[in-house]
Amino acid sequence: MIQLFNVTKSYGKENVALREMTVHIEKGEFTYVTGPSGAGKTTFLNMLYGACKPTRGQILINGINITRMSGRQIPYLRRKIGVVFQDYKLLNSRSVYENVAFALEAQGKKRYEVSKRVYKALKEVGLEHRLQRKPIELSGGEQQRIAIARALVVEPLILLADEPSGNLDQEVTLEIMELFKRANARGTTVLLATHDHSLYKRFPKRVLGLEDGRLIMDHQP
């Protein structure tokens, strides 16, 4: 599903975020990406949805070489990938419903289909009773669940989560992990960047360890 071959990403001469990374991730796998701050986790995930391009090396997603993709094709790549961030990236001036609907509208889906799927996705994350509220009025955990609903409503092949529980307490983190595991159980490939050791001790899965841009560990439970 995801294949990296000797991928290097550098910002300027000195600043190398990823070095010669080669890794394969199968369809339906659940993988943690770990490492200290500045290790290159975000850079790794960003490259997978075309937010930045590798300086050297090739990335294949679903057999397609995305390093050769033009700006025109990137949106179509992104429609197959859901992304969740530490800071949620929600529109606080829009309702919960609109925030989730955004992802389907961007693909030009019909209105009735949008409303049906948005409702289903919000129900999945337990927020179907909050449709008309503004994200800012809700708790951090609820906001992250909106973001997850937005990522999952398009039924993506891949779900990328960049420190999704970085701002959340233990209890809420477990709720969110539950959502990721459920998505994974339905066949979505999940990549979760975190430096929270307790997380992968509690839910053991494959762990990729990064340090200073290098892949130093690839551990299967």
Ligand X SMILES: Nc1ncnc2c1ncn2[C@@H]1O[C@H](COP(=O)(O)OP(=O)(O)O)[C@@H](O)[C@H]1O
CA distance 121 to 189: 18
**CA separation, residue 137 to residues 9, 96, 134 (Å):** 39, 10, 6
Do 191 and 161 meet the contact criterion of CB atoms below 8 Å apart? Answer: yes
- The label of the residue with tokens 């990549």 reads 191
Taking the complex as a whole, the smallest distance from the CB of residue 193 to ligand X amounts, in Å, to 7
CA distance 170 to 17: 30
Toward ligand X, which CB reaches closer, 28 or 166? 166
Taking the complex as a whole, the smallest distance from the CB of residue 173 to Mg ion amounts, in Å, to 17
Toward Mg ion, which CB reaches closer, 45 or 157? 45
User: Candidates 54-62, 99-107, 128-136, 177-185 — which segment interacts with other proteins by CB under 8 A?
Assistant: 99-107
Q: Is 102 among the residues that bind other proteins (CB under 8 A)?
A: yes
Give the residue, chosen from 21, 34, 41, 104, that forms a contact with ligand X under the rule CB under 6 A. 41
Q: Is 42 among the residues that bind Mg ion (CB under 5 A)?
A: yes
Give the residue, chosen from 24, 27, 110, 123, that forms a contact with other proteins under the rule CB under 8 A. 110
Taking the complex as a whole, the smallest distance from the CB of residue 130 to ligand X amounts, in Å, to 30
Left (φ > 0), alpha (ψ -120 to 50) or beta: where does 216 sit? alpha
Give the residue, chosen from 31, 34, 43, 189, that forms a contact with ligand X under the rule CB under 6 A. 43
Q: Is 71 among the residues that bind other proteins (CB under 8 A)?
A: yes
Q: What are the two backbone dihedrals, phi and then psi, of residue 77, each rounded to the nearest 5 degrees?
A: -65, -45
Q: Is 15 among the residues that bind ligand X (CB under 6 A)?
A: yes
- The label of the residue with tokens 């309702």 reads 95
Toward Mg ion, which CB reaches closer, 96 or 158? 158
Alpha helices in the chain (DSSP H): 41-48, 74-78, 96-105, 111-124, 140-152, 170-185, 197-202
Q: How many other β-carbons are positioned within 10 Å of the β-carbon of residue 211?
A: 14
Q: Is 189 among the residues that bind Mg ion (CB under 5 A)?
A: no
Do 62 and 80 meet the contact criterion of CB atoms below 8 Å apart? Answer: yes
Do 86 and 164 meet the contact criterion of CB atoms below 8 Å apart? Answer: yes
Give the residue, chosen from 12, 15, 63, 108, that forms a contact with other proteins under the rule CB under 8 A. 108
3-state DSSP assignment of residue 221: coil
Q: Which residues bind other proteins (CB under 8 A)?
A: 49-50, 71-72, 74-79, 83, 89, 91, 93, 102-103, 105-108, 110-111, 150, 154
The residues that touch Mg ion, with contacts defined as CB under 5 A, are: 42
Binding site for ligand X (CB under 6 A): 11, 15, 17, 35, 37-43
